[in-house]
Chains A and B, each alone.
Chain A
Amino acid sequence: MTISEIIFYLFSATIIFFSILTVTSRRILRAAVYLLFVLVSTAGLYFMLNYHFLAAVQLTLYAGGIVVLIIFSILLTSHISQKFEPVGIKKQIFSAIAMAAGAILSIMVILNYGFNSLITVADNPTMNTIGYGLLNYGKNGYALPFEVISILLLAAMFASIVIAKKDKKTN
């Protein structure tokens, strides 16, 4: 067993274990923290796959940005120590069965397919490549999605301000 394998199993186990905890924990703040672990482990996987920039983005944006946002909103809307009322057992069982079935099905498909998983090149794309890719509008260029995303982000910013703003009339 190589070191990379061990690291991989470690990350995988972390991801799955904390995912489960995220969706089952009855304390919301803890759930958010578990989510953070999941996201960080995912970033670890990206590192393993040699996408360093992506891993960095994952860490800053996801783990740093979104989770913090979520925690803020939790603090705004709930008590920290608040426990949820337990979810209906029927709902849990049915969902679990369906999800297990789905997971098994998918995994079987994956195993049966037999991917050609040989990797010849394992280079890490440089920031240069990524920057050119984002601003290039020729082949392998992503200028348009980049612009779209920019506008989307702008719109989302406005939207969240407008939505979350206090309505003067009602108060």
Chain B
Amino acid sequence: MDFSFTVWIPLLPLILFVFLGLTSGSIRPKISGYIGTAGMTITTLMSYFVAYQYFFNRPAGSETFEKIIAFNTVWLNLTEKLQINLGVLLDPISVMMLVVITTVSLMVHIYSIGYMNGEKGYSRFFSFLSLFSFSMLGLVVATNIFQMYICWELVGVSSYLLISFYYERPTAVAAGKKAFIVTRFADLGFLIGILLLSFVSGTFDFVSLTDPQGALITQGSSLTFMGLSVMTWALVLIFMGGAGKSAMFPLHIWLPDAMEGPTPVSALIHAATMVVAGVYLVARLFPLYVFAAPDALTIVGYVGGITSLFAAVIACTQNDIKRVLAFSTMSQIGYMMLALGVSGYGDHHGLGFMASMFHLFTHAMFKALLFLAAGAIIHAVHSNFMTEMGGLRKYLPITHITFLIACLTIAGIPPFSGFFSKDEILTAAWEHDKFLFFIEYAVAGLTAFYMFRLYFNVFWGKDRHYHHTPHESPLVMTGPLMFLAAASMFTGFIPFSSLVTSDSKPFESHIEWMIAIPSILIGVIGILVAMWFYKKENGISEKMAGGLKHLYKWSYNKFYMDEVYLFVTKKIIFNNISRPAAWFDRHVVDGTMNGIASVTNRTSSGIKGFQSGQLQKYGFVFVSGVIILVFTFIYIWFN
């Protein structure tokens, strides 16, 4: 099977971006929306075709899913060995990601036609969406780590552009800036990691980097730095990049703010696709992590675990529905990281890897659904705050049902997809690290609680009086909701273990009921507590908040992480480094230069004294000079 046409999967959105960007303003906004969506549809269909061909139409007799380089071209030669290629690498995870990205992207495109209707910058929005789709698709099909870095940066920029989409709102501008700078900081780690890795290995290429029999893995790295091998350092730094993009603690602060962007953007970028890039990165380099730097992998697991708990606690107290979802996203990505952290390589050892990818897949569907539904709610109510909502189930029936499905999915209730993927993660965690396992149980309960807190607050509770009666969104918006709801319900039955595995070889996996049943119970308890608290307006929640006053306050303020960062950046870096640097330059460096100049000036004005223009002074100097010279010549020189 010739896959070389796959190069058009990322290229088509790029062409759309350029086209929409250049024609923005000269064609009717509506048309540009349709063009963008049509292009995305073609891309999606191509991705589905590739996935079908790759997974279900593989050459007879082959046990494993081979890595296929469908396309590769030299972009830049760096050294004799190192070169940056642009190409398309197809293997199970990249093909899976193609499906995820194109699906969600298409749904968001369709949804946006309705949601963004009448907004200023409609065509700009679609061109940015295309730019993002291009970069994200380019990222997942990257054949080498540098291509990934390139797309990684592009993804960051499109995220920036889309967060600051409402550029006249100062909060949106600040949020975009924050997102970009925080991820940029993380990317610095990524870059240094790449430099280290390429220095040790002499290649950027994924195929040779992740070859389990490759020289790099079998020999390991003998170089060490501060007690850890250079490989460990490199991989930890690369993970730092991933953690930034995936909003892992403590680089998560940008994600809640990023909700300033339009809601479809949050669904696409900050829920389903871009934020899982970090997970994808670790998965992409997984053999390296497992064999060359198990310490790094442990770090990955623990960072994931801590983040998932941390974010879940915060999510319980937030009132902005998009922020609740944002923290929920963090928590779920923490899950995926954790799953990678507790995974081994090959067969059943690679369960965590498979589970992580599985969860990535299902999470993309249900989280996109949650965001799009939240968008529909905001669209109807014109507010982000759940305190201003209630009783919406009567007005928004379709949104209500789809939202409920998504909540059940994320809470891990069978037979929805979230149950299956989460169960695999728990199983993997149980087999590797009991501590993380129990954290995950706690997080599962919290997840169910905060999601249903949201659900009951919005759709049940007190019926409020709205300025104008909320009404259900048009079909272009509800359609994607229904599609994604269906996906959330049924994708759990996809036999992931025979498709996407750590060593590309299928293996058998089944549900561990001993682990699943308690997890279901915890989920149900969470739901029931939320129901008890929030279904009717009864003040229990306020009492609870009063009882746990400090915890509540800390959680409500997101554990003051923003303030810590603000302190570090504003007080320390801005005031104590940058201001002195500017001062130093103005006064010391420039002052020295000016000082030299003024010394010269003074010297010259001293010399100028001789040059008074007064003949008599000249005469005096001349005559005395002659006398001294004559004296010197006659009595000193010749004697």
Q: Which residues of A contact B (CB under 8 A)?
A: 94-95, 98-99, 101-102, 105, 109
Contact = CB atoms under 8 A, between A and B. Distances in A.
B630 interface: yes
Contacts of A98: 620, 623-624, 627
Given A98-B620, A101-B631, 10 more contacts: A94-B620, A95-B620, A98-B623, A98-B624, A99-B623, A102-B623, A102-B627, A105-B631, A105-B634, A109-B634
Contacts of A95: 620
Nearest to A99: B623
Nearest to A103: B627
A92 to B, nearest CB: 11
A74 B492 CA distance: 123
Interface in B584-639: 620, 623-624, 627, 630-631, 634
**Interface SS, A side:** helix
A38 B317 CA distance: 116
A109 B631 CA distance: 10
16 contacts: A94-B620, A95-B620, A98-B620, A98-B623, A98-B624, A98-B627, A99-B623, A101-B627, A101-B631, A102-B623, A102-B627, A105-B627, A105-B630, A105-B631, A105-B634, A109-B634
Contacts of B634: 105, 109
B294 to A, nearest CB: 90
B363 to A, nearest CB: 96
4 A-B pairs with least C-beta separation: A102-B627, A98-B624, A105-B631, A101-B627
Nearest to A101: B627
A105 B634 CA distance: 10
Contacts of B627: 98, 101-102, 105
A99 B631 CA distance: 13
A94 B623 CA distance: 12
Contacts of B623: 98-99, 102
Nearest to B619: A95
A95 B627 CA distance: 12
A105 B631 CA distance: 7
A98 B625 CA distance: 10
A102 B620 CA distance: 12
A98 B631 CA distance: 12
Interface in B287-335: none
Contacts of A101: 627, 631
A101 B634 CA distance: 14
Contacts of B624: 98
Contacts of B630: 105
A76 B499 CA distance: 121
A95 B619 CA distance: 10
Nearest to A109: B634
A99 B630 CA distance: 13
Nearest to B621: A98
Nearest to A106: B630
A23 to B, nearest CB: 13
Nearest to A102: B627
Nearest to B630: A105
A112 to B, nearest CB: 9
Nearest to B627: A102
B616 to A, nearest CB: 8
Contacts of B631: 101, 105
Contacts of B620: 94-95, 98
A4 to B, nearest CB: 33
A39 to B, nearest CB: 23
B615 to A, nearest CB: 13
A98 B630 CA distance: 13
A101 B623 CA distance: 11
Contacts of A94: 620
A118 to B, nearest CB: 26
A89 B593 CA distance: 42
A63 to B, nearest CB: 26
Contacts of A105: 627, 630-631, 634
A94 B627 CA distance: 13
A99 B623 CA distance: 9
Contacts of A102: 623, 627
A109 B630 CA distance: 10
A102 B630 CA distance: 9
B479 to A, nearest CB: 98
B377 to A, nearest CB: 95
A99 B626 CA distance: 11
Contacts of A99: 623
A25 B157 CA distance: 92
Nearest to A105: B631
Nearest to A98: B624
A105 B627 CA distance: 8
Nearest to A112: B634
A95 B622 CA distance: 12
B614 to A, nearest CB: 11
Interface string B389-409: 000000000000000000000
A159 B623 CA distance: 30
A109 to B, nearest CB: 7
The CB with the most chain A CB atoms within 10 A, among B620, B627, B630, B631, is that of B627
B609 to A, nearest CB: 14
A64 B584 CA distance: 76
A100 to B, nearest CB: 10
Nearest to B634: A109
B364 to A, nearest CB: 96
The CB with the most chain B CB atoms within 10 A, among A95, A98, A101, is that of A98
Nearest to A94: B620
B290 to A, nearest CB: 93
A97 to B, nearest CB: 9
A27 B278 CA distance: 103
Nearest to B631: A105
Interface string B364-401: 00000000000000000000000000000000000000
A105 B630 CA distance: 9
